[in-house]
Amino acid sequence: MTEIRRATLDDLDLIAPLFDGYRRYYQQPSDLPRAQAFLRERLERKESTILLAMRDGQAAGFTQLYPMFSSVRTARLWVLNDLFVAEHARRFGVGHALLDAAAAFAREQGAAGLMLETMRDNAPARALYRAAGWHEDDTQWYSLSFT
């Protein structure tokens, strides 16, 4: 059974390896101290909300949400920026449970919506999002990198 909870600083040792795995998926070098420092800073500054999935007593996955606002809608939105499920926990509904928990969290916060982006070639993620009731837009986000 999967349990989802809002992570705290006490969960850093559980979340950091998952976050490191997430970064490795995106071709970043493994750097557990960097992952831990980044997450610590987000949690200490209350800049993100991290939902941690536990399955059979093990850290199974996480999602990290960042707040933003819509001027047009005059409302808060949440960006589901990161979602990762550990290899040992895949195919057990952990990703879907994290998406459901993220949606429930956003609704509880009075948000107008929840948004994310993923690579077009990430077929497993896109299938998961569609199965969880998300819809794809034809728009594209652009970014400017300073590092």
Q: Is residue 112, in this structure, part of any structural domain at all? A: yes
Domain assignment of residue 123, given as a range:
2-131
Q: Is residue 147, in this structure, part of any structural domain at all? A: no
Count how many domains the chain has.
1
Nearest in space to 94 (alpha carbons), one of 54, 131, 56, 126: 54
Distance of CA 51 to the CA centre of its chain: 7
- The helix, strand and coil proportions of the chain, stated in percent and rounded to the nearest 5, come to 40, 25, 35
Tell me: pLDDT of 147 over 70. no
pTM of the model: 0.89
Q: Is residue 140, in this structure, part of any structural domain at all? A: no
Q: Is residue 137, in this structure, part of any structural domain at all? A: no
Nearest in space to 18 (alpha carbons), one of 72, 64, 57, 79: 64
Distance CA 106, CA 82 (A): 15
Tell me: pLDDT of 136 over 80. no
What percentage of the chain carries pLDDT values higher than 70? 93
